[in-house]
C-alpha cells in the first residue's frame, strides 16, 4: 500500500527529510493524508470482518433449522456484526474521507490538531482488537444486540465489559476526531473560502461533527451505567433493584438516532460533490442543501422515540414522535429534489462514481420511503423488530452510506493514489453490488410484513424461500466486495493503472483538483489565493 | 473460433448447472409446506389478513402509504431517468447553467410538508384507538420469561386461570437437528405450543404485559398488536378478535439464546366454547390443587395439617392447642381423641354452639369451605400433636364421605 505513497514521498524528501519512514510513518503519523489512509484501511478491514459475520448469519438462515451455529453464537454474530459495521466500518470510513478531503477542500495545510488526530486513530485499534477477540472470551462475544438493551446486558459474560470498554474508546476517538474537524473547518479555511462557499462534503461533516460531540457522551453514559449495574450494585436499568430498562432505551436512542444521521450526512456530502461533477453543472440549491442538512441534524434529536413505539409509550408520546419523524422526510426530500435538479439539463457521463451516486439516490430513496412507512406508529406496531426494519436500515446504511463511500472512493482515489482505477472493473463492481444488494435485502421487506422477527436463529417453514434468496444474494454481495478489495483497491494503492491527471473528471470543481495527483505529502503550506467562487487557486 | 465457441458453451453449461442448483436448493428442496391459517403463509408478501379492526386499519394505512410512496417514487425517478436518458454528454447534450431558484425550493419544501401531514392524519386516529384499553371484557396478564409465556386470567370470565405456554419440545429438538427433514410437513414449525391462550370471539381482551427476567415482546400479527413485556413494569394493549380460529405470533424482542423459541398461540373460540373451556380449566385447577381421592401418607397429612392449623385454627385454639378463655383446648380433648372420627368431623363441617354456664354461647364456626384434603390434614394434625398420640390418620376420602 505504501508503494504509491512512498513514490510521491521521494519528491518531498529533499526538504522534508524529518518525515518518518517505514512503520514509524504510520504509527507516528500526523499527516492528515496518512491518517486518512489509515482510517480507510481500518474501515475496509472491519468491513470485511463484519461481512464475514454477516455471511455466517445468512448461511445459518439459508434453511430452517440449525445447521452451522447454535442460537447463542447466532446472537453473538448479529450483535457483533452490528457493532463492527457501525462503529468499525461506516463511522471510521467517513472519518477517513474527512481526514483526506477536508483540508484539501478548504485549502488548509493539515488538520488542526495533528497529534490528537493520530491518537484518535490509534485508539480504535485496541478497541477493534477487543471487539473481535471477544468471540474467544469465556462465554463468547456480547449477544445482547448492537443496541445492548438492559437488562439482557446484565446476563452477558465478561466480553460485555470488553465491549463496553471498546465502545468507550471508539467514542473518545470519535469525539476527538469531531473536535479536530470542527476546529479545522472553522479556523483553517483559506482566505476567501467563506462558509457558504465551502464544498458540501466539508459542510456535511461540520454538521456531523457537532452531532457526534452532542451524542457520543450520551452513549458513554448509557454504557457506563450498564457497567456499574453489572459490577457495582447500582440499579439504573436493573428492575430487580428498582431500575428502569426502558430508561436505557430512551438514553440509547437519544444517542442512536443522531447516530444514524452521523452515518448518512457525510454520504449526502459525497453525493453532493459527485452529482454536479458528472452532470457538469453546479449543485442546484447549494444554500438549501446546507439548510436541509442542518434541519435533518436538528430533527434527529427529537425523533428517538420512534424506535420505542412497542414499549408502550403514552398516546401523546406516540403521536409526537410519529409527527416529528415524518417531518424528517421534508428536508430529505429537498435533498433528493436538488440532486435531480442538478442532473436536469446537465451533460452527464456515467463513470463509476456517478453510477454509485445515482444508485445511491435510487436505492437510498427506497430506504427513505420505508422509513416514512415505519414512522407511522400503527404500521410500526406491525413491523417493529421484524425483517422489515432490517431491510429498511440496510437500504439506508448499505445502499446509502456504503455506496456513497464506494462512490467517494472512485471519485477521489485518483487524487489519493495518483492512478486511475480500472473503469470496467468499477462498473462491474457497481452493477454486481447493486443487483446482489437488492436480491439480498428486497425480500426482507416481505419477510417483515409477514411477521418474521429479527435476530432469529431459526424460523417457521413459510419464511424459507425468501430467506434462501436473501442468503444467496448476501454471498454474491460479499464476493462483490472481495472483488472490490482485490481488483480495485489493492491495485490502485499499489500504483497500478493509468497515471491520473490533476483533474481526472471534466466537471469536477474544488481545491482538491487544484493540486497534482497524487496529492503531495504537504499541500497548502501557505494559504492559497482563491478566486471569487473559492473553487480555483489564482496564486 | 471453434475454441472460443467450445469455451463459451462450457461456461454457459456451468452457469446453467450452478443456477439450477441454486434454484433447486432455494425452492424445491425447501420442504413442501403450506400456509398456516392465522400464522405465516408461504412466500407471504403483505401483512396477515386482519382479524381485528385495528389490524384492518393498519393494513389500510399500509396500502395507503405504499401506494402514495410508490407514486411519488415513480414520479421523482421518472424525472431522473428521463434526465439520465436525455441529458447525457454522449447524446451531445450541453449543460445548462441554472443552479438556484428560491421559488422552486419553497415549493418543494411545502409540498412534501403537506403530503406528510395528509399521511399523519389517518394514522393519528388509529394511534388513539390502539391505545384505548378501557372497558375490557376480559383481562389477561402476559408474563414473558426466558423462554416461555405465562398467562394469568385476572378479570372477567375465567378469572383465576393461569398457566405457562412453551414451545413444543419435539419442535425444539427438530430445530437442533437441522430443521424438519425433507418431505416432513410441519406447518406450525416453531409455532406449536403446549398450552395456547384461549379467548372468546368478539370480546375486548386487555392484555397486561410484564416480564420476569429480561424484556420480551408479545406479538400477534393477525390482531395488529405488539407490546413489549418489561420486567418490573406493566404495560397494556388490547384486541377484539372477530373471527374464530388459531392465531400465531412470536417473541419479538431479543431475550437471550432461546429468543426464536418462545412462540405465541391464541385460540379464539365462541362464547359457549369459551365457557366450556373455562369450566374445564377451573376443574383442572381445583383438581390439581388437591385430589381428594388420593391416599396421603402420615407425614404429608401432618405437614399440610400444621399449615392449615396455623392459618385457620391457632388464633383461637392457640398454637399449643390449649385454647384460651372460653375456647376449648384441643390438647387432650375427648372429641379429638375419640377413635370415631365422625364426631370431630361433624364439628369441623357444621360447627357447634355450646351454651356456657353464665348464659353466653360459645360458637365454633363451620369450616366446610376448606377442601376435603385440608380438613383431613388438620384433623390428622390435631389427633397426633401435643400430648395427643392417637396414631389415627384421616384421609380426604373420609371427609368426602362425611360431607354426603
Q: Which residue's entry shows cell 376443574?
A: B283
Rounded (10°) angle between helices A91-106 and A200-231: 150
CB A530 within 8 A of CB A192: yes
> Closest residue of B to A460, CA-based?
B189
Residue B384 has pLDDT above 50, yes or no: yes
- What is the H or E stretch that residue B117 is in? helix B102-130
This prediction's pTM: 0.85
CB pairs under 8 A between A and B: 338
Residue A6 has pLDDT above 50, yes or no: no
> Closest residue of A to B187, CA-based?
A461
d(CA A403, CA A90): 11
pLDDT of residue A13: 45
pLDDT of residue A18: 62
- The reply to whether B143 touches chain A by the CB within 8 Å rule is no
Contacts of B192 in chain A (CB under 8 A): none
Interface touch A377/B123, C-beta < 8 Å: yes
Cα distance between the two ends of chain A: 33
- The reply to whether B246 touches chain A by the CB within 8 Å rule is no
Instruction: Give pLDDT tens digits for A189-244.
Output: 999 999 999 999 999 999 999 999 999 999 999 999 999 999 999 999 999 999 99
User: pLDDT grade, residue A12 (50/70/90)?
Assistant: very low
* Sign of the dihedral defined by the CA atoms of residues B183, B185, B190, B192, in that order: negative
- Nearest CA-CA distance, residue B199 and chain A, Å: 21
Residue A69: CB atoms within 10 A of its CB come to 16
d(CA B142, CA B209): 5
Interface touch B40/A462, C-beta < 8 Å: yes
- Nearest CA-CA distance, residue A6 and chain B, Å: 37
User: pLDDT grade, residue A4 (50/70/90)?
Assistant: very low
DSSP letter string over A410-454?
Answer: HHHHHHHHSBPPPHHHHHHHHHHHHHHHHHHHHHHHHHHHTTPBS
Residue B103, CA distances (Å) to A169, A224, A285, A288, B110 in order? 47, 49, 11, 12, 11
CB B392 within 8 A of CB B341: yes
CA-based angle A136:B255:A310, to the nearest 5?
135
Q: Which residue's entry shows cell 497500478?
A: A496
Q: Which residue's entry shows cell 401506494?
A: B67
Residue A2 has pLDDT above 60, yes or no: no
Residue A62 has pLDDT above 60, yes or no: yes
- What is the H or E stretch that residue B284 is in? helix B271-289
Contacts of A145 in chain B (CB under 8 A): 254
CB A47 within 8 A of CB A398: no
Interface touch A152/B254, C-beta < 8 Å: yes
User: pLDDT grade, residue B122 (50/70/90)?
Assistant: very high
Cell, residue A5: 505513497
Contacts of A346 in chain B (CB under 8 A): 83, 87, 93, 95-96
Interface touch A378/B187, C-beta < 8 Å: no
Residue A529 has pLDDT above 70, yes or no: yes
Contacts of B266 in chain A (CB under 8 A): none
Measure CB to CB from residue B227 to each of A312, A454, A455 and give the nearest one: A312
Coil, strand or helix at A104: helix
- The reply to whether B96 touches chain A by the CB within 8 Å rule is yes
Identify each DSSP E strand in B85-177 by its residue range: 138-145, 148-155, 162-165
Instruction: Give pLDDT tens digits for B153-170.
Output: 999 999 999 999 999 989
- Binning chain A into helix, strand and coil, the percentages to the nearest 5 are 70, 0, 25
User: pLDDT grade, residue A174 (50/70/90)?
Assistant: very high
CB B266 within 8 A of CB B275: no
Q: Region of B232 please: left (phi>0), alpha (psi -120 to 50) or beta.
A: left
Largest CA distance in chain A: 70
pLDDT of residue A14: 47
User: pLDDT grade, residue A5 (50/70/90)?
Assistant: very low
Residue B267, CA distances (Å) to B59, B242, B264 in order? 22, 12, 10
| Identity of the highest mean pLDDT range in A479-488, B295-304, B389-398 | A479-488
- The reply to whether B285 touches chain A by the CB within 8 Å rule is no
**Mean pLDDT in chain B?**
88
Q: What is the CA radius of gyration of chain A?
A: 23
Interface touch B256/A459, C-beta < 8 Å: no
Residue B108 has pLDDT above 60, yes or no: yes
Mean pLDDT calculated for residue range B10-19: 58
DSSP letter string over B160-178?
Answer: T-EEEE-B-HHHHHHHHTT
> Closest residue of A to B94, CA-based?
A347
Which residue of A436, A450, A468, A507 is the best one to mutate when testing the B interface, meaning the one whose CB has the most B CBs within 10 A? Answer: A450
CB B241 within 8 A of CB B268: yes
Backbone angles phi, psi at A537, to 5 degrees: -95, 130
Q: Which residue's entry shows cell 430508561?
A: A247
Interface touch B93/A366, C-beta < 8 Å: no
- Nearest CA-CA distance, residue B351 and chain A, Å: 47
Measure CB to CB from residue B232 to each of A239, A379, A382 and give the nearest one: A239
DSSP letter string over A458-508?
Answer: S--GGGHHHHHHHHHHHHHHHHHHHHHIIIIIHHHHTT-SSBPPSS-STT-
> Closest residue of B to A62, CA-based?
B26
CB B27 within 8 A of CB B42: no
CB A463 within 8 A of CB A446: no
d(CA A490, CA A481): 12
Measure CB to CB from residue B120 to each of A323, A361, A462 and give the nearest one: A323
Considering only residues B362 and B29, tell me which one the structure prediction assigns the higher pLDDT: B362
> Closest residue of A to B110, CA-based?
A330
Interface touch A461/B31, C-beta < 8 Å: yes
> If you ran DSSP here, which 8-state letter would residue B354 be given?
E
Contacts of B174 in chain A (CB under 8 A): 65
Give Cα A519 to chain centroid, integer Å.
24
Instruction: Give pLDDT tens digits for B169-224.
Output: 899 999 999 988 877 888 999 999 999 999 999 999 999 999 999 999 999 999 99
CB A180 within 8 A of CB A491: no
pLDDT of residue A3: 39
Interface touch A343/B87, C-beta < 8 Å: yes
Cell, residue A246: 426502558
Cell, residue A180: 479536530
d(CA A410, CA A424): 12
Instruction: Give pLDDT tens digits for A263-307.
Output: 999 999 999 999 999 999 999 999 999 999 999 999 999 999 999
d(CA A351, CA B142): 57
Buried b / exposed e over B227-241, threshold 16 CB at 10 Å, is bbbbbbbebbbbbbb
Residue in A399, A349, A345 with CA at minimum distance from that of residue A371: A399
Considering only residues B391 and B277, tell me which one the structure prediction assigns the higher pLDDT: B277
- The reply to whether B99 touches chain A by the CB within 8 Å rule is yes
- The reply to whether B168 touches chain A by the CB within 8 Å rule is no
Q: List helix spans (H) across A300-385.
A: 315-343, 352-375, 377-383
Measure CB to CB from residue A310 to each of B89, B217, B250 and give the nearest one: B217
Interface touch B249/A451, C-beta < 8 Å: yes
Mean pLDDT calculated for residue range B354-376: 81
pLDDT of residue A160: 94
Contacts of B32 in chain A (CB under 8 A): none
Q: Which residue's entry shows cell 377413635?
A: B339
> Closest residue of A to B104, CA-based?
A285
Interface touch A460/B191, C-beta < 8 Å: yes
User: pLDDT grade, residue B20 (50/70/90)?
Assistant: low
Strands B205-211 and B361-364: unpaired
Residue in A363, A264, A465 with CA at minimum distance from that of residue B35: A465
Cell, residue B26: 432455494
Interface touch B235/A315, C-beta < 8 Å: no
Which of A297-306, B110-119, B387-396 is predicted with the least confidence, judged by mean pLDDT?
A: B387-396
User: pLDDT grade, residue A10 (50/70/90)?
Assistant: very low
pLDDT of residue B6: 58
CB A370 within 8 A of CB A393: no
> Closest residue of B to A151, CA-based?
B214
User: pLDDT grade, residue B371 (50/70/90)?
Assistant: confident
Q: Give me the half-sphere count of Cα atoms (radius 13 Å) on the Cβ side of residue B394.
A: 34
> Closest residue of B to A145, CA-based?
B254
Measure CB to CB from residue A459 to each of B225, B232, B260 and give the nearest one: B260
**Mean pLDDT in chain A?**
93
Mean pLDDT calculated for residue range A249-257: 96
Interface touch B84/A348, C-beta < 8 Å: yes
Give Cα A196 to chain centroid, integer Å.
25
Q: Region of A178 please: left (phi>0), alpha (psi -120 to 50) or beta.
A: alpha
User: pLDDT grade, residue B88 (50/70/90)?
Assistant: very high
Burial of B404 (0-12, 13-18, 19+ CB in 10 A): exposed
d(CA B345, CA B374): 12
Coil, strand or helix at B75: helix
User: pLDDT grade, residue A9 (50/70/90)?
Assistant: very low
pLDDT of residue A39: 96
CB A425 within 8 A of CB A488: yes
Q: Which residues of A are catalytic?
A: 81, 110, 146, 173-174, 257, 259, 261, 272, 306-307, 332, 335, 454
Which residue of B20, B99, B168, B187 is the best one to mutate when testing the A interface, meaning the one whose CB has the most A CBs within 10 A? Answer: B99
Burial of A258 (0-12, 13-18, 19+ CB in 10 A): buried
Give the contacts of B280 (CB within 8 A, at least 6 positions apart).
Answer: none
d(CA B81, CA B87): 10
User: pLDDT grade, residue A110 (50/70/90)?
Assistant: very high
d(CA B386, CA B382): 8
Q: Give me the half-sphere count of Cα atoms (radius 13 Å) on the Cβ side of residue A143.
A: 25
d(CA B42, CA B99): 51
Residue in B120, B264, B354 with CA at minimum distance from that of residue A318: B120
Amino acid at each position: 500500500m505504501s508503494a504509491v505513497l512512498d513514490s510521491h514521498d521521494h519528491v518531498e524528501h529533499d526538504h522534508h527529510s524529518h518525515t518518518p519512514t517505514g512503520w514509524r510513518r504510520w504509527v507516528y503519523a500526523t499527516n492528515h493524508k496518512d491518517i486518512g489512509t489509515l482510517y480507510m484501511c481500518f474501515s475496509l478491514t472491519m468491513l470485511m470482518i463484519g461481512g464475514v459475520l454477516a455471511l455466517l448469519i445468512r448461511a445459518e438462515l439459508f434453511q430452517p433449522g440449525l445447521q452451522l451455529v447454535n442460537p447463542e453464537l447466532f446472537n453473538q454474530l448479529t450483535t457483533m456484526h452490528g457493532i463492527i459495521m457501525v462503529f468499525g466500518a461506516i463511522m471510521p470510513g467517513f472519518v477517513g474521507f474527512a481526514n483526506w478531503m477536508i483540508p484539501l477542500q478548504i485549502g488548509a495545510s493539515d488538520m488542526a490538531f495533528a497529534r490528537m488526530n493520530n491518537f484518535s486513530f490509534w485508539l480504535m485499534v485496541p478497541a477493534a482488537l477487543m471487539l473481535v477477540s471477544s468471540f474467544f472470551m469465556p462465554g463468547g462475544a456480547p449477544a445482547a444486540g448492537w443496541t445492548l438493551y438492559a437488562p439482557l446486558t446484565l446476563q452477558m459474560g465478561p466480553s460485555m465489559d470488553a465491549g463496553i470498554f471498546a465502545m468507550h474508546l471508539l467514542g473518545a476517538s470519535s469525539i476527538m476526531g469531531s473536535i479536530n474537524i470542527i476546529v479545522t473547518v472553522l479556523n483553517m479555511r483559506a482566505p476567501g473560502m467563506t462558509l457558504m462557499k465551502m464544498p458540501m462534503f466539508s459542510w456535511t461533516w461540520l454538521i456531523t461533527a457537532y452531532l457526534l460531540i452532542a451524542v457520543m457522551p450520551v452513549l458513554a453514559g448509557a454504557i457506563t451505567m450498564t457497567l456499574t449495574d453489572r459490577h457495582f450494585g447500582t440499579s439504573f436499568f436493573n428492575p430487580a433493584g428498582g431500575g428502569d430498562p426502558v430508561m436505557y432505551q430512551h438514553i440509547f436512542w437519544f444517542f442512536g438516532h443522531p447516530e444514524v444521521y452521523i452515518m448518512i450526512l457525510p454520504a449526502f456530502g459525497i453525493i453532493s460533490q459527485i452529482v454536479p461533477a458528472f452532470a457538469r453543472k453546479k449543485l442546484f440549491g447549494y444554500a438549501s442543501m446546507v439548510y436541509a442538512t442542518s434541519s435533518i441534524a436538528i430533527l434527529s434529536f427529537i425523533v428517538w422515540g420512534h424506535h420505542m413505539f412497542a414499549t408502550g409509550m403514552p398516546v401523546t408520546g406516540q403521536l409526537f414522535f410519529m409527527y416529528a419523524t415524518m417531518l424528517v422526510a421534508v428536508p430529505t426530500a429537498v435533498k433528493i429534489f436538488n440532486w435531480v435538479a442538478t442532473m436536469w439539463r446537465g451533460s452527464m457521463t456515467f463513470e463509476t462514481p456517478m453510477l454509485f451516486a445515482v444508485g445511491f439516490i435510487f436505492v437510498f430513496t427506497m430506504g427513505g420511503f420505508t422509513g416514512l412507512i415505519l414512522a407511522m406508529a400503527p404500521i410500526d406496531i406491525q413491523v417493529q423488530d421484524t425483517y422489515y426494519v432490517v431491510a429498511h436500515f440496510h437500504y439506508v446504511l448499505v445502499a446509502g452510506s456504503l455506496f456513497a463511500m464506494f462512490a467517494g472512493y472512485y471519485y477521489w482515489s485518483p487524487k489519493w493514489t495518483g492512478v486511475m482505477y480500472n473503469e470496467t472493473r468499477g462498473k462491474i463492481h457497481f452493477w454486481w453490488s447493486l443487483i446482489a444488494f437488492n436480491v439480498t435485502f428486497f425480500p426482507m421487506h416481505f419477510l417483515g410484513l409477514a411477521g418474521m422477527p429479527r435476530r432469529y436463529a431459526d424460523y417457521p417453514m413459510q419464511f424459507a424461500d425468501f430467506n434462501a434468496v436473501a442468503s444467496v444474494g448476501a454471498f454474491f454481495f460479499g464476493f462483490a466486495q472481495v472483488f472490490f478489495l482485490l481488483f480495485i483497491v489493492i491495485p490502485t494503492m499499489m500504483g497500478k493503472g493509468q497515471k491520473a491527471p490533476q483533474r481526472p473528471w471534466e466537471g469536477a470543481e474544488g481545491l482538491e483538483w487544484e493540486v497534482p495527483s497524487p496529492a503531495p505529502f504537504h499541500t497548502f503550506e501557505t494559504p492559497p489565493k482563491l478566486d471569487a467562487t473559492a473553487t480555483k487557486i489564482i496564486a | 473460433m471453434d475454441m472460443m465457441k467450445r469455451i463459451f458453451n462450457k461456461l454457459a453449461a456451468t452457469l446453467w448447472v450452478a443456477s439450477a442448483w441454486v434454484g433447486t436448493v432455494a425452492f424445491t428442496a425447501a420442504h413442501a409446506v403450506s400456509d398456516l391459517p392465522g400464522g405465516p403463509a408461504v412466500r407471504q408478501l403483505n401483512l396477515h389478513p386482519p382479524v381485528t379492526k385495528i389490524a384492518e386499519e393498519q393494513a389500510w394505512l399500509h396500502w395507503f402509504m405504499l401506494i402514495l410512496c410508490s407514486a411519488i417514487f415513480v414520479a421523482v425517478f421518472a424525472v431522473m431517468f428521463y434526465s439520465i436518458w436525455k441529458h447525457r454528454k454522449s447524446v451531445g447534450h450541453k449543460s445548462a447553467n441554472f443552479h438556484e431558484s428560491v421559488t422552486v425550493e419553497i415549493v418543494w419544501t411545502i409540498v412534501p410538508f403537506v403530503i406528510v401531514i395528509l399521511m399523519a392524519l389517518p394514522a393519528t386516529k388509529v394511534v388513539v384507538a390502539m391505545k384505548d384499553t378501557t372497558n375490557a371484557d376480559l383481562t389477561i396478564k402476559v408474563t414473558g420469561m426466558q423462554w416461555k409465556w405465562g398467562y394469568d386470567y385476572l378479570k372477567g370470565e375465567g378469572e383465576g386461570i393461569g398457566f405457562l405456554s412453551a414451545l413444543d419440545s419435539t419442535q425444539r429438538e427438530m430445530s437442533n437437528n437441522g430443521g424438519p427433514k425433507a418431505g416432513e410437513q410441519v406447518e406450525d414449525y416453531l409455532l406449536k405450543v403446549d398450552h395456547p391462550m384461549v379467548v372468546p370471539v368478539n370480546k375486548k381482551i386487555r392484555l397486561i404485559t410484564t416480564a420476569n427476567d429480561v424484556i420480551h415482546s408479545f406479538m400477534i400479527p393477525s390482531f395488529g398488536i405488539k407490546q413489549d413485556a418489561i420486567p418490573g413494569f406493566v404495560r397494556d394493549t388490547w384486541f377484539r378478535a372477530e373471527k374464530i380460529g388459531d392465531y400465531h405470533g412470536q417473541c419479538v424482542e431479543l431475550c437471550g439464546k432461546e429468543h426464536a423459541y418462545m412462540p405465541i398461540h391464541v385460540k379464539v373460540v365462541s362464547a359457549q366454547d369459551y365457557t366450556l373451556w373455562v369450566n374445564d380449566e377451573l376443574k383442572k385447577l381445583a383438581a390439581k390443587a388437591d385430589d381428594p381421592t388420593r391416599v396421603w401418607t402420615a407425614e404429608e397429612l401432618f405437614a399440610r395439617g400444621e399449615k392449615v392449623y396455623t392459618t385457620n385454627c391457632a388464633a383461637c385454639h392457640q398454637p399449643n392447642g390449649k385454647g384460651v378463655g372460653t375456647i376449648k383446648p384441643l390438647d387432650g380433648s375427648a372429641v379429638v381423641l375419640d377413635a370415631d372420627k365422625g364426631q370431630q368431623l361433624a364439628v369441623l363441617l357444621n360447627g357447634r354452639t355450646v351454651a356456657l354456664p353464665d348464659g353466653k354461647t360459645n360458637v365454633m364456626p363451620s369450616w366446610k369451605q376448606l377442601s376435603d384434603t385440608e380438613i383431613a390434614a388438620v384433623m390428622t394434625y390435631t389427633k397426633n400433636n401435643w400430648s395427643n398420640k392417637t396414631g389415627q390418620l384421616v384421609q380426604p376420602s373420609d371427609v368426602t364421605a362425611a360431607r354426603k
